[in-house]
Amino acid sequence: MNWMMQAGESTRGLNAPGSGSVAGGGQEQMPAVRGRLSANAPLDKLVWFKSGGPADFLFEPADLDDLTSFLGGLPEGTPVMAIGLGSNLIIRDGGVPGVVVRLGKAFASVEVRRDCVVECGGGAPGILVASSARDAGIAGLEFLRGIPGTVGGFVRMNGGAYGREVADILIDCDVVLPGGNCVNIPVGDLDYTYRHSRLPDGAIVVAARFQGVPGDPAVIGAEMDRIAAEREASQPLRSKTGGSTFKNPELTKSGGKKAWQLVDEAGCRGLTMGGAQVSEKHCNFLINTGEASSADIEGLGEEVRRRVAQTTGVALEWEIKRVGRP
């Protein structure tokens, strides 16, 4: 049975009686865990926008076995979603149904293997991966310094920056599918396109291996410093934001213009809705100016899309993932 067939199967029924280690007074029957399982768990502090409602359950697994056992024991049909650093994500104000999984230190390792291979846990931040590669004299992974997320997130969405993307360096990844099966998937089976893979909803990337090339640590470090300085100069990094809001459209459809240029042309730089604003510094970024609701932020994004379509004829697509109940 291939991994896509397994992914299409429904999750099994409850395996373990009782509620396990549940904080927050959840009443539903859930599998026993060794990590932390919290009911009605706030998510706003875990995402860059600092807005949104709670998760029905937030699960922070102790290790891979804890994760696979838990997912295999969930009641059939329970929604599952992984969260990393919380960038590129709007949690809607009504919260997230089912279970949100957050990978902690047990999934944040980075190890250098032979032949310039870097093996990473799904919870490892991009900056840690790039820095570890630099220290080992491995080039080609510098662009990960510019991706504000974890391995699990940018492997799933083929994250990229500064002319490179995950599809350029990924060898394979280990993924826990809905139902708890852990499978190894080579890069060719992910059918990567721009900011997209064929991984199904509920699949969680727990590890990945990246291929680099030999390089001079000083040169690698200089490139990483350049990327950091360029991000600082051009992006509102010290604001409550979510990263790039819209995907860059095909250049043939946009007249060679990137998303930010289309937003600017439509007169949306600085546009506000409630507590949300289109950044003055980089108008493909939305920011929470203080007390914005997620509805403010998403509504502003939709208004920008409307104005861009009306002005330029280009239908911008969201790059930020929007999840949960309105």
Just list the catalytic residues. Answer: 195, 244, 319
Return d(Cα 219, Cα 26) in angstroms, integer. 52
Separation between Cα atoms, residue 254 and residue 247, nearest integer Å = 12
Q: Helix/strand/coil (H, E, C) string of the chain?
A: CCHHHHHHCCCCCCCCCCCCCEECCCCCCCCCCCCEEEEEECCHHHCCCCCCCCEEEEEECCCHHHHHHHHHCCCCCCCEEEECCCCCEEECCCCEEEEEEECCHHHCCEEECHHHEEEEECCCEHHHHHHHHHHCCEECCHHHHHCCCEHHHHHHCCCEECCEEHHHCEEEEEEECCCCCEEEEEHHHHCCECCECCCCCCCEEEEEEEECEECCHHHHHHHHHHHHHHHHHHCCCCCEECCCCECCCCHHHHCCCCHHHHHHHCCCCCCEECCEEECCCCCCCEEECCCCCHHHHHHHHHHHHHHHHHHHCCCCCECCEEECCC
